[in-house]
Amino acid sequence: MSEAYKQSYTFGMDFGTSDFKFGSITSGERPEIIENRGYFTDKTSVIQQISGPFKEVIVGKDVPLYLETREDLSARLVYPMRNGIVEKDDQRCWAVVKELTQFALESFRPPQSDFTGFYLVASLSSVAPRYMYEKLFEIFREISGEFQSIKAATIIPQPLSVAIAHKIPTCIVIESGHGNSQTCPISRYPVRDAIVAINRGGGDGNALTAEILKDCGYGDLVREESFVRKVKENIGLIPADLDAAIQLAKNDPERFRATYRVPGTRITIDLADKSWMRFLIGEYVFDPNHELFQSYFSRGLRKPGDVRFGDTFFRGMLDFGDAIIEAVERCPVELQPHLYRQILLSGGNFAWNAPADMTEAAIDAASKVRLLLEEKGVTDTTVLIAQSPQYSVWRGCIVYGYAVPTDFSWSWERFEGWMNF
């Protein structure tokens, strides 16, 4: 099969923790985005019985049409990659992954008569264990057999995709999602043995925000995580120095006052004289070791613990500065300065407000990481926040599929190459 064919029919898929991004090379700058979830339908429901052939898993924009107000909704609505990892024997999660893959490919099936299948590049979390690669290839093989929509496929780690999309061949990528974060050095290849995984992500920031809302008298509103997340995004701030920022906010509470009017409702969140707490939210995401957080742990906030998912050990309380240093120091000494000079922050957990009138106290994510490294003696650094973080993994997939030669076959030693079907 020629390179020209492959370049015409390159297809990218990004299995993110919340969203599934997909599209062929003809999509331009942006992929299609749907939620990375599937709804298992009720076989006995009236709509299923009289609406044609039975479909076990619904994905894409049709999901809301099938949702029912029932107690078992949470069991029927499956998010297969909430933590970036799918359990080996979780058949329901794999069924959703297969349905999403098929849905994506069929959405872009070209009418051309020469089409014999896409060259598919899928991207997974860098901590995805080998069995996930094996299982995904098995799904691709099944789909290829049934629908002839995949000619060959490959799987690459998300940090590599991000580095490719940002045109940086040597760098360290920190990908921080809802459930966890991964620090991955890249030097033309992902340095897999140097990956440092952290069991902390945007979800932990939400949990602390919920505790703060309870302390401020809004305990009745914290049951919905999506609501708490919105509050976090609107009032949470990253302090340059937590103690100094709290002191400033306590001395001038009006200037640092945290208020948030929930759109379309009569609800207004106002932290009033406790507005200094908004700095706790940002600090906790980047470094949860300040003594102030102990009181929250003792009152029931889940302390991020050390856990093992698959083959990967996730550290709970490691701050982002230490995580970068640990990852870099697992690489050859010669490479280390180059990695510190290109640190790329990717993922929704790095999107924070830094109001222009609070610059002496509140900073953005890149500045915070730079400060954490400076505290530990690493000074010559460049920290960038990924542009278009939603699309960068998909873009990296397209570049990868476009450039990697068709005769480079998959190798389980290298975890690279095309698996031909």
Partner 1 sequence: MTEREVDALLIEFFTSKGLKPIPLAEMSAQGEEKPDLAFADGRTTTYLKVFGKHDLQQRDALLQAVLSSMSYARAANRVYLVLPKVQATIVDAAPLRERGLGLIVYDSKRVEEVLPSSIFNHDTATARATGDLERLTSRIAALERTVETLLSELSRIKALKLEQLEPSRIPSRSPMAVELQSSERLPSFLQDNPWLEILSRRGREPEHVAS
Interface residues with partner 1 (CB under 8 A)?
A: 2-4, 7-8, 25-26, 28-29, 44, 46-47, 49-52, 110-112, 163-165, 167, 169, 187-194, 395-396, 398-400, 402-409, 413-414, 416-417
Q: How far is the CB of 163 from partner 1 (least distance, A)?
A: 8
Q: Which is nearer to partner 1, 44 or 268 (CB)?
A: 44
Q: How far is the CB of 309 from partner 1 (least distance, A)?
A: 18
User: CA–CA separation, 328 vs 330, rounded Å?
Assistant: 5
**For residues 150 and 165, is the Cβ–Cβ distance under 8 A?**
no
User: CA–CA separation, 339 vs 377, rounded Å?
Assistant: 15
Q: Which is nearer to partner 1, 3 or 90 (CB)?
A: 3
**For residues 278 and 237, is the Cβ–Cβ distance under 8 A?**
yes
User: CA–CA separation, 143 vs 228, rounded Å?
Assistant: 39
Beta strand segments in 253-306, E? 259-261, 268-270
**For residues 350 and 365, is the Cβ–Cβ distance under 8 A?**
yes
The bridge status of strand 238-239 relative to strand 118-124 is: unpaired
Q: Which is nearer to partner 1, 148 or 409 (CB)?
A: 409
Q: Which is nearer to partner 1, 147 or 189 (CB)?
A: 189
Least Cα distance to 173 among 181, 33, 96, 124 occurs for: 181
Q: How far is the CB of 1 from partner 1 (least distance, A)?
A: 9
Q: Which is nearer to partner 1, 111 or 264 (CB)?
A: 111
Q: How far is the CB of 401 from partner 1 (least distance, A)?
A: 9
Q: How far is the CB of 130 from partner 1 (least distance, A)?
A: 12
Residue that is written with structure tokens 């222009």 in the block: 356
Q: How far is the CB of 421 from partner 1 (least distance, A)?
A: 18
Q: How far is the CB of 206 from partner 1 (least distance, A)?
A: 31
CA distance readout (Å), 246 to 231, 277, 283, 371: 19, 8, 11, 17
Q: Which is nearer to partner 1, 193 or 291 (CB)?
A: 193
User: CA–CA separation, 120 vs 105, rounded Å?
Assistant: 9
Q: How far is the CB of 397 from partner 1 (least distance, A)?
A: 10
User: CA–CA separation, 310 vs 380, rounded Å?
Assistant: 35
SS3 of residue 23 by DSSP: strand
Least Cα distance to 54 among 64, 44, 65, 63 occurs for: 44
Q: Which is nearer to partner 1, 64 or 111 (CB)?
A: 111
Q: Which is nearer to partner 1, 159 or 304 (CB)?
A: 159
